[in-house]
Structures are given as C-alpha cells and as structure tokens.
Amino acid sequence: MTLAKSDVSALFTQAALAAERFRAGLDDRPQRPGMDYAALRAAAAADVLPTPESGLSAQETLDSLIQLAEPGLHASPAPRFFGWVIGASHPVGVAADWLTSAWGQNCGNHHTAPSAAFIEEIAARWLLDILHLPATASVGFVSGATMANFVCLAAARTHVLRQAGWDVEADGLFAAPEVQVLIGDEAHTSVYAALRMLGWGQRRLRRVATDDHGAMRPDALLAQLADCTGPVIVVTQAGQINTGAFDPLAQIVDAAHRHGAWVHVDGAFGLWARACPSTCPLTLAYEQADSWATDGHKWLQTPYDCGYAIVAHPEAHRRAMTFAASYLPQADDAERNPAEYVPELSRRARGFATWAMLRHFGRDGIATMVEQHCMLARHAAQRLADEPGIAVLNDVVLNQLIVQFGADRDPQQADALTRATIARIVADGTCFVGGAEWRGRWVMRMSIIGWETQLADVDRAVDAMLSAWRVEAGRG
C-alpha cells in the first residue's frame, strides 16, 4: 500500500489529535477503564476478530485501533491514578517518544544511530549527577527495572566469578564456583525473575530477614554473610513496593564489601529519593553500591518503556552484555555503543525521552516533584488515619501508603472490608487504587507518583475513599 505525503501528514495529525483528546479528557472521566479485558473481548464484534485478508487505509486503521483500545485504557497518566507504581507519561517525554518512533533510529551502535548514542551519553551523565552516583559508572537504557535488575545482576555474576577465577562468558555456569545470592525477604518479585534468568532458581537464594517495613535487617545480613564462602552478591532495595522502605546500606555495604560481595540496589522508584535533598538521607551510603537499577517510566515520568541499569564497574557491565560480529562496528574507549550495556542489539532510542525529561525538569524540578509527592502521601495518610476504623500500616517515608479498612475488626473481617472498600473506590472512579497482601493482611496501596497530582487531587481522592469506607462500615 502506498501512502502519499499528504496522507502521512494527515495520519500524524490524526494521532496527535487523538492523543490530545485522550489526555484532555482524563480529569473528567472515571479513573479506571470503561471496560475490563473480559468485557473488551466479549464486545469485540466478530468482524474485527478474523485475520485481515486485505489492508485498510491509514486513517481507517488508526480509527479502528482507537475505537478498539480506548474503552480499555487506564487513566494512568491522570492526577488521581494511584495504582501500582506508574509514572504519568509526561507530555514532553511523549513528544520526544513520538520523535523517537518517527526518526526510526536503531539504537544498537554509534554508527547506526550517532545521535541516539550521543544523547544517551549526555542523559547518562545527567542521570548519574542527579542521582549522586559515581560519574564513572556505566548506564544501560533498558525497558524497565526488571531488565535493569537483570543487566546489573549479570554484571555482578561476571565480576564475582572472575574474581573467583571463572570466566562465565567463556565457560558458562556449569561447574562454575557457586555464587551465593543474599536477598531481602521483601524484595520485588521482578528481582527473582531476573535471578531466575541468570541461573539462580528461587530455592538457591538466601533470604535475609526484614523489619516491620520490609527493610533488610543488618544483623540478619551479617549473620548470613558470616556463613557464606565463595563469591557473594547482596541484593538490596531502595523503596519497598508497598511501604517505600529503604534497606540500611550504611550498615550493610562496608561489611558486604569486606566479604568481597557485590552489592546491588533495586531502586525502581526509590532511587529517585536521591534526587531530592529532603529524602536523600534515606539513601545514605547507596553511592557505595556496585550497581543500581531504576526506572525512567516511574518518577522521571518518561513514557513506557524506560529503565536504567547503572554499574560502578563498566568493564564487568560491558563484558556481560557485549556481543561482536564483523558487520557490527566496534566502539573504542571514548565512544559509546548503546548495545554494549543492554541485552538487545536493535531497540528504540530511549535516551531521547530520558534526555527530554531531564532537560525539561532539571535537577530542581525533579527534587520539587519528589518532595511534593512525599508531602502529599503524608497528607493522605494523616487524613485517612484520622478516620475511625482506618489504619495506615506503614511509616510514610516516601510516596507509598498501605491502608487497612476495618482495622478495629478481626483479621478476616478487616480483609473483607478492605477488599470491598477498594472495589467501591474503584467503581466510584474519582481515583484509582489497588490492593495487595502485606504480612498476611489485605491492604489498599496508594502510590503518589504522577507529575500532575496536586493537593486538591489527593483531597478529592481521600474524600472518595472515606465515603466508600463509611458505606462499607454502615455509616454511609
């Protein structure tokens, strides 16, 4: 099918208008999808299901996509969306991302994509500076924190095995010295996935006990370390998914290094605490770790997908990720080949949206946003905790809250009331929240992370939560 230049122009305008309409309507619509997955499937007319035998015009294709997709879109970029931990796709990042797609660069190396490689280089330098991490660290632009954890832990595996005299790139894992992995009991599930892909089954990991908020207990780690022989990797966390708790690296990192261990930090959202003067102290000594995983598509508000694998030992990072072929240009030491820091060769140039968000916010803008979200989280917690029957179960150190409804009832009743209240809040649509199990109890999770969220949004959301709870409690 051919596309005239005027068709392309009309198509891009059509997409931009649809995007604008979607975003402009977010505040006034329910903060949940109009249709869930099952409803979307049930409603799909028979004629949209079969494989298309012939093409459709560009404009009709886009119309069909919009029609099919829009009813099932979450309001995730909206200011009262507090589900999971999802950044709000800032328009500046979205626009940069449109250009990324339109420019169509293959970000594999600096010959196929000179600008992408160069802009990644700048964005990487800015990231390290804003997060107060060593300027000599290397940065891989990956799809998210799951892959960032994977890349960092691959570098860790390479490094600790090399120190034990084993070349994992050449000889693989069979017959390699056993690497002990010590990991906090409340680590994010994606770290287990990353470790599984790297050769550590769940039962091979040594779980380290955590405190009431899910932060690693240093005494438990030291006891486990004392029991380890051979290469060791310690997996720590900045920002527990439910409580926002931080592992106390100031009490961990020295001991781990004395043991020869590699210390990794999963800081998908929590690492951004380092970008804000009032929350930075939560991350004392984090700069001494060996690797850090974080996301752009959370607190930096880039569109999906964007994460960063940051490694203090660039040679281990490159060794773990690099692959060569005669047709692929190699980089010398002063050059950046983006593929040398990530698992993929061909991929989108994520550095453009990262650069744009860092340039748009600046150091100050990021600090102010993090500060504001943490203040709003404390405000929401205070208002909720003031209501009879509601308990906020965590110390709100960051932007995360976990809330129990019916906290004065027995545990089964409290779980049922919490589930029912969450369902009522979501059905009402003023805001969106999710649930999770925390230490055997069902809780409502509220994550304040959207760049647009203001005090009035949080107050509206809390009003809706209190109304829902009062109905469930028989006081509505």
Region from 87-95, 154-162, 265-273, 385-393 binding ligand PLP, contact rule CB under 6 A: 265-273
Which one of 31, 109, 112, 146 is in contact with ligand PLP (CB under 6 A)? 146
Q: Is 342 in the site for ligand PLP (CB under 6 A)?
A: no
137 within 8 A of 341, measured Cβ to Cβ: no
Cβ 307 to ligand PLP shortest distance, Å: 5
Which one of 268, 367, 444, 446 is in contact with ligand PLP (CB under 6 A)? 268
Cβ 297 to ligand PLP shortest distance, Å: 6
- Interface of this chain with ligand PLP, residues 79 to 138, rule: CB under 6 A: 85
Region from 35-43, 96-104, 143-151, 356-364 binding ligand PLP, contact rule CB under 6 A: 143-151
Q: Which is nearer to ligand PLP, 239 or 406 (CB)?
A: 239
Which one of 79, 108, 307, 343 is in contact with ligand PLP (CB under 6 A)? 307
336 within 8 A of 110, measured Cβ to Cβ: yes
Helix (H) or strand (E) holding 119: helix 114-130
Which one of 145, 153, 215, 374 is in contact with ligand PLP (CB under 6 A)? 145
Helix (H) or strand (E) holding 169: helix 168-171
Integer CA distances (angstroms), 324 to 108, 329, 409, in order: 12, 8, 62
Cβ 184 to ligand PLP shortest distance, Å: 11
Q: Is 247 in the site for ligand PLP (CB under 6 A)?
A: no
Q: Is 214 in the site for ligand PLP (CB under 6 A)?
A: no
Q: Is 415 in the site for ligand PLP (CB under 6 A)?
A: no
Q: Report the interhelical angle of 91-103 vs 351-385 (nearest 10°).
A: 150
Q: Is 290 in the site for ligand PLP (CB under 6 A)?
A: no
Region from 117-125, 139-147, 284-292, 430-438 binding ligand PLP, contact rule CB under 6 A: 139-147
Q: Report the interhelical angle of 455-472 vs 351-385 (nearest 10°).
A: 50
Q: Which is nearer to ligand PLP, 187 or 320 (CB)?
A: 187
Strands 307-311 and 138-142 come out as antiparallel
- Interface of this chain with ligand PLP, residues 223 to 242, rule: CB under 6 A: 239, 241
Q: Report the residue closest to ligand PLP, judged by CB.
A: 144
Cβ 265 to ligand PLP shortest distance, Å: 10
Integer CA distances (angstroms), 106 to 100, 146, 224, 339, in order: 10, 22, 45, 10
Q: Is 295 in the site for ligand PLP (CB under 6 A)?
A: yes
Helix (H) or strand (E) holding 442: strand 441-447
Q: Is 186 in the site for ligand PLP (CB under 6 A)?
A: no
Q: Is 144 in the site for ligand PLP (CB under 6 A)?
A: yes
Peptide bond between residue 305 and the one before it cis (omega within 30 degrees of 0): yes
Cβ 367 to ligand PLP shortest distance, Å: 21
Rg of the chain on CA atoms, in Å: 24
Rounded Cα distance between 348 and 113, Å, is 10
Sign of torsion, CA 131 147 295 393? negative
Helix (H) or strand (E) holding 438: strand 434-438
Written in H, E and C, the secondary structure of 14-43 is HHHHHHHHHHHCCCCCCCCCCCCHHHHHHH
Cβ 39 to ligand PLP shortest distance, Å: 25
Residues near ligand PLP, by CB under 6 A: 85, 144-146, 188, 190, 239, 241, 266, 268-269, 295, 307
